[in-house]
Amino acid sequence: MLRVSNDYNLHLQAVNSAFPNTTSTLAHGYIKIFPEDDKSHKGIIDLLRERNADFYVILPSNERPVKIVIKGVPPHTPITLIKTALENKNFNPHKIVNLTQQRSKKPLPMFLVEVDKSQAEQLFQIRSLLNLKVTIENFKKRPGFTQCWKCNYFHHSSNNCESKARCLKCGKNHRTAECEIKDKIPNPKCINCGKEGHVASWRGCESFPKPKLNNNYFNQFSHQRNANTFNSNWTVPQKSYANAVNSNNANQINFNTPPAQQMAPPNTRQTESAENINPNAVSDNLNPLDMFQALRDLREIFQAYPEIFQILLNLKNGNTVQEKANILMAGLANP
């Protein structure tokens, strides 16, 4: 994936001259180069390296390592100790990382291990490591977009990045971890959008990729919330299943849902006045844990969609609850 720059066409000319059967397409600010075969793939990589081009490599599926998580090993266990223990079991790990909590960065008793596909199945058979009982699971990537720790651009990791390093703090050509500035910068300048007040890893940055409203990244928050609150054992006291389904029973359950053949027009709910909602009926059922979870969900959504937060700020322009509701619905309909 060749990054689009002022001289991108010169790089493509050199690639097409050396490898005539190569095709290229534009995707996410990069030019995706399709080589003819594996030999051309390696040759194009060497050519772009010689030209000091900014690009990253997409490995063929048969060369991509498998990511596996080992659970049950104490945090801060030396990586070399885990590597030696795996090598004694005839494994050849390419990478071992101690996983951390997303927010607090606290080390967890979990280690990410990358191995060849040929060794993955055998690794799942491990039941103990370092004299400890362990569990082996597939690695589940954290939700969101991947940002390279080397160049701090997006959609790839630092493992296969061939671009120049860019520091989040000072913007010079070195990794952020190697920067001489160790203290927090009070007013940093973003190396992606050029604005002050945040670094390039801030999800509210205008250059940070924004997910579409209907994709899995956006829907996962409500899905996770529903999974945590749904109760499959929900029952109605003193009500048998036979009574519940008996249409002639005078005491049958009423869910306030009309029959399908009497369904109201689609716009009925949208035109219902928001002022008719009884706030006490809502506040009486509020659970502090649910409120806390809802605030966390809103924070995640605002970080991914700063424009939604701006819509909420516009609610002050409404004088009544109905006007505020109309502003909210209009903003969400045209984000």
In a domain, residue 80? The reply is yes
pLDDT, position 26:
92
pLDDT-wise least confident of 91-105, 139-153, 213-227: 213-227
Between 243 and 65, residue with greater pLDDT: 65
Q: What is the pLDDT of residues 169-202, one digit of tens each?
A: 999 999 998 999 988 888 899 999 999 999 998 8
Helices (H), 136-183: none
In a domain, residue 275? The reply is no
Between 285 and 187, residue with greater pLDDT: 187
Q: Which of 104, 138, 172 is the last residue of a domain?
A: 138
The phi and psi torsions of 282 (rounded to 5 degrees) equal -80, -45
Q: How would residue 260 be classed by pLDDT, with cut points 50, 70 and 90? A: very low
Indicate if 12 and 74 belong to the same structural domain. no
Q: What is the CATH number of the domain that holds 97?
A: 3.30.70.330
CA distance linking residue 261 with residue 313, whole number of Å: 41
In a domain, residue 230? The reply is no
* C-alpha dihedral sign at 289, 294, 300, 306: negative
Give the domain extent around 7.
2-51
pLDDT, position 200:
92
Contact yes or no for 80/130 (Cβ under 8 A)? no
pLDDT, position 279:
44
Indicate if 75 and 133 belong to the same structural domain. yes
Q: Which of 116, 138, 160 is the last residue of a domain?
A: 138
CA distance linking residue 237 with residue 243, whole number of Å: 12
Q: Which of 81, 103, 138 is the last residue of a domain?
A: 138
Report how many domains make up the chain: 3
In a domain, residue 32? The reply is yes
Supply the pTM of this predicted model. 0.53
Is residue 82 predicted with pLDDT exceeding 90? Answer: yes
In a domain, residue 14? The reply is yes
Indicate if 45 and 89 belong to the same structural domain. no
Q: How would residue 271 be classed by pLDDT, with cut points 50, 70 and 90? A: very low
Strand 95-100's sheet: what is its strand order? 95-100, 107-115, 66-71, 135-138
Indicate if 85 and 23 belong to the same structural domain. no
pLDDT, position 281:
43
In a domain, residue 61? The reply is no
Q: What is the pLDDT of residues 39-67, one digit of tens each?
A: 899 999 999 999 999 999 988 877 888 99
CA distance linking residue 259 with residue 248, whole number of Å: 15
Kindly give, in sequence order, each residue whose CB lies less than 8 Å from that of residue 128, ignoring residues fewer than 6 positions away.
134
pLDDT-wise least confident of 33-37, 143-147, 224-228, 288-292: 224-228
Contact yes or no for 191/152 (Cβ under 8 A)? yes
pLDDT, position 219:
52
pLDDT, position 265:
45
CA distance linking residue 207 with residue 290, whole number of Å: 32
In a domain, residue 325? The reply is yes
In a domain, residue 41? The reply is yes
